[in-house]
């Protein structure tokens, strides 16, 4: 009976206190764990993830470059998220990947950056990851698993250590940071919004997806496609945004790609 109740809760996010309207997406979502708790789990998971991907890059110049771009984009999030202390980490790995943990830890691999040739692409990939955080996709996923594992009545009292164990298990199984197609589209839409507000040319987002689609044809180290699926469908959606809602940015010199800045501050530091 309790299980059935839980299922009903997940399926119908109606007039239930655990369902909250997200300020970034305007969508109602099931959130059973407080933002503080989920942030603490993100912070706890960070060191292991960094180690798993070969640590951070050594180049101070490259780290500072990515942090600058990330902060510019993150400054554009909804006021409800103004308290987040964003952190941008460049992983010293050839694997093409980017992901974010709740609490605002955003990761991008050196291998992915090496596929780029302008700063708007970096803003695009970081904006997408920032979008996963503001859309609270990890919180949502954890809440669904928690609802299925524990009875809803117990979750409010559910101990932090139980939740931490669950989150750690999902991270090691690689399931916590895997998103569905709708979540990917949401993160793309938010990324385009934030990067545009930061005066980057949102065409950079399309270029990121084209890089991923092209790489998916080969047999490269493409972990990013298992966590962020379906680049071809996403390309279509982003093209639609550029031709519609964001058409005003195309050809307007206020929205920049920053090719020279990328060539100066990032490109020389992307080799092994």
Active site residues: 129
Q: Which residue lies nearer to Zn ion by CB, 131 or 158?
A: 131
> Which residues is 109 bridged to in the sheet?
91
Distances (CA, A) of 136 to 23, 81, 92: 10, 11, 27
Smallest gap from residue 227 Cβ to Zn ion (A)? 6
Q: What b/e string do you get for 44-66 counting C-beta neighbours within 10 Å, with b at 16 or more?
A: ebbeebbeebeeebebeebbebb
Q: Which residue lies nearer to Zn ion by CB, 61 or 180?
A: 180
Smallest gap from residue 100 Cβ to Zn ion (A)? 8
Q: Please name the residues in contact with 113: beta carbons below 8 A apart, sequence gap of 6 or more.
A: 62, 66, 90, 122, 266, 270
- In this structure, the chain runs to a length of 272
Tell the residue number behind the tokens 């970096």, with chain if given: 122
Q: Which of 105, 228, 234, 257 binds Zn ion (CB under 5 A)?
A: 228
Q: Which of 187, 211, 238, 241 binds Zn ion (CB under 5 A)?
A: 187
CA distance 64 to 44: 24
Q: What b/e string do you get for 124-136 counting C-beta neighbours within 10 Å, with b at 16 or more?
A: bbbbbbbbbbbbb
> Which residues is 91 bridged to in the sheet?
56, 109
Query: Count H helices, E strands: the chain?
Result: 13, 5
Query: In this chain, which stretch among 45-53, 186-194, 235-243, 263-271 interacts with Zn ion, using CB under 5 A?
Result: 186-194
Smallest gap from residue 15 Cβ to Zn ion (A)? 30
Tell the residue number behind the tokens 């919004």, with chain if given: 193
Query: In this chain, which stretch among 42-50, 138-146, 220-228, 246-254 interacts with Zn ion, using CB under 5 A?
Result: 220-228
**Considering CB under 5 A, how many residues would be counted as binding Zn ion?**
3
Q: Which residue lies nearer to Zn ion by CB, 110 or 228?
A: 228
Query: In this chain, which stretch among 181-189, 191-199, 234-242, 246-254 interacts with Zn ion, using CB under 5 A?
Result: 181-189
Q: Which residue is nearest to Zn ion (CB)?
A: 228
Q: Which residue lies nearer to Zn ion by CB, 193 or 269?
A: 193
134 by DSSP, 3-state: which?
helix
Q: Which residue lies nearer to Zn ion by CB, 137 or 269?
A: 137
Query: In this chain, which stretch among 89-97, 105-113, 187-195, 243-251 interacts with Zn ion, using CB under 5 A?
Result: 187-195
Smallest gap from residue 132 Cβ to Zn ion (A)? 6
- Chain residues that interact with Zn ion, rule: CB under 5 A: 184, 187, 228
């Amino acid at each position: 009976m309790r299980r059935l109740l839980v299922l009903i809760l997940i399926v119908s996010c109606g007039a239930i206190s655990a369902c909250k309207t997200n300020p970034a997406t305007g969508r109602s979502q099931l959130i059973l764990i407080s933002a503080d708790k989920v942030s603490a789990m993100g912070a706890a998971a960070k060191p292991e993830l960094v180690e798993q991907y070969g640590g951070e890059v050594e180049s101070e110049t490259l780290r500072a470059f990515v942090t600058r771009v990330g902060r510019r984009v993150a400054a554009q999030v909804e006021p409800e998220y103004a308290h987040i202390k964003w952190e941008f980490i460049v992983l010293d790995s050839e694997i093409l990947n980017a992901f974010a943990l709740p609490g605002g830890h955003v990761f991008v691999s050196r291998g992915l950056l090496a596929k780029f040739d302008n700063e708007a692409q970096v803003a695009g990939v970081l904006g997408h990851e920032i979008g996963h955080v503001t859309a609270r996709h990890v919180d949502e996923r954890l809440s669904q698993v928690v609802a299925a594992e524990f009875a809803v009545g117990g979750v409010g009292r559910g101990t932090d250590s139980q939740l931490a164990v669950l989150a750690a298990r999902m991270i090691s199984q690689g399931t916590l940071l895997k998103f569905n197609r709708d979540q990917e589209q949401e993160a793309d839409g938010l990324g385009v919004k934030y990067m545009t507000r930061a005066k980057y040319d949102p065409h950079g987002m399309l270029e990121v997806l084209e890089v991923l689609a092209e790489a998916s044809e080969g047999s490269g180290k493409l972990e990013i496609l298992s966590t962020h699926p379906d680049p071809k469908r996403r390309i279509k959606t982003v093209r639609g945004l550029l031709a519609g809602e964001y058409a005003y940015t195309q050809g307007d010199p206020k929205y920049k790609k920053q090719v020279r800045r990328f060539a100066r501050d990032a490109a020389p530091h992307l080799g092994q």
